[in-house]
Every structure is written in C-alpha cells, then in structure tokens.
Amino acid sequence: MLFPTRPPVTRNIRGAVQPVRRAEPSEDTGSVSVEFLGFLPLLLLVALAAVHLGLAAFAAQQAGSGARAAARGMSVDAPAGDPETVAREAMTGWVAGKADVRATACGDARRATATVSVDVPAVIPGTGFTVTRRATMPCPGRSAP
C-alpha cells in the first residue's frame, strides 16, 4: 500500500469524531433482484398488450380512412377507379395488404357504401382479431332517404 488509509469517520452533534459503522450483511441480499425477475413476465405482458392495443387502434383508423375513400370514390358521377384500389391507396402498406374491401355503387339505395376489414396481427399469441369499418356517402343528384 503506497498511502495508508484512515478508517472513515463522522462527527456527531457535539463535534466529536466517531467511526462510521458499516452495515452488517443481511440474509435478504439479492431478494429485490429475485422479486424483479418474478415480476418481469407480467411487465412484458403488459407492454406487449399496449403494443397490441396501439396496432389495433392504428388498423381501425386506417380501415376507416380506406372505407371513406372507397365510398367517396363510388359516390361521384364518374368514379376515378376501382373502389378497392382507391381504398388501398388511402391506407398504409402493411394495413392495405391485410385489408378486405367490399363496396356497393350508387343504385336504387341512392348511396355508396364501402366496408373495409383489417386483420390485426397477433403480438401475443392467440389475440389476433379483425377490425371492420364502414362508410356511406350520398350519391350526387339524388337525395338520401
């Protein structure tokens, strides 16, 4: 040892120097780590459920956008294209790939209706489901019932 070390000391209220007492090692050393490891699967499950909920909300929002775009495209006098194509262009890539688009043109019902169903991917096995959104637009030159 190059430099001798002094034991750590502290001063009490009166200013007297007292040695610092070291805590005795207890029997429950590491118990917090074990408790955390036991709680970790629950934390991961809650995090995955939050991600799954976010994916479901995003898919529902995108399905609604696709349904509105398809219904709007079918309700004009001269539709610009296939309603399925219009709906898929209104959605992002991965949602459009999982979407099922059904549309009815203006007819006796005097309105155009589009339905888009999207399969939400299962983040937690066994929790996948389908989100469906429907939009209806009035046809031009005709009054809606």
In the chain, % helix, strand, coil (3-state, to 5) comes to 40, 20, 40
User: Does residue 70 contact residue 39 with C-beta atoms inside 8 Å?
Assistant: no
Report, in angstroms and rounded to the nearest whole number, the Rg of the chain calculated over CA atoms.
32
Tell me which residue has tokens 């007292």: 18
Q: How far, CA to CA in Å, does 49 sit from each of 25, 119, 124?
A: 40, 16, 7
The confidence score (pLDDT) of residue 91 equals 94
Which positions of the chain have pLDDT values less than 70? 1-4, 6-7, 9, 20, 22-23, 25-26, 28-29, 77-80, 142-145
The confidence score (pLDDT) of residue 23 equals 67
Q: What is the pLDDT of residues 2-20, one digit of tens each?
A: 666 766 767 777 777 777 6
The confidence score (pLDDT) of residue 3 equals 66
Q: Please measure the distance between the N-terminal and C-terminal CA atoms of the chain and give it in whole angstroms.
A: 97
The confidence score (pLDDT) of residue 132 equals 96
Q: How far, CA to CA in Å, does 46 sit from each of 100, 119, 120, 124?
A: 30, 21, 18, 10
State whether the Cα torsion 35-39-40-43 is positive or negative.
Answer: negative
Which amino acid would we find at residue 6? R
Strands of the chain (E only): list them: 9-11, 17-19, 99-104, 111-120, 129-138
DSSP 107: S
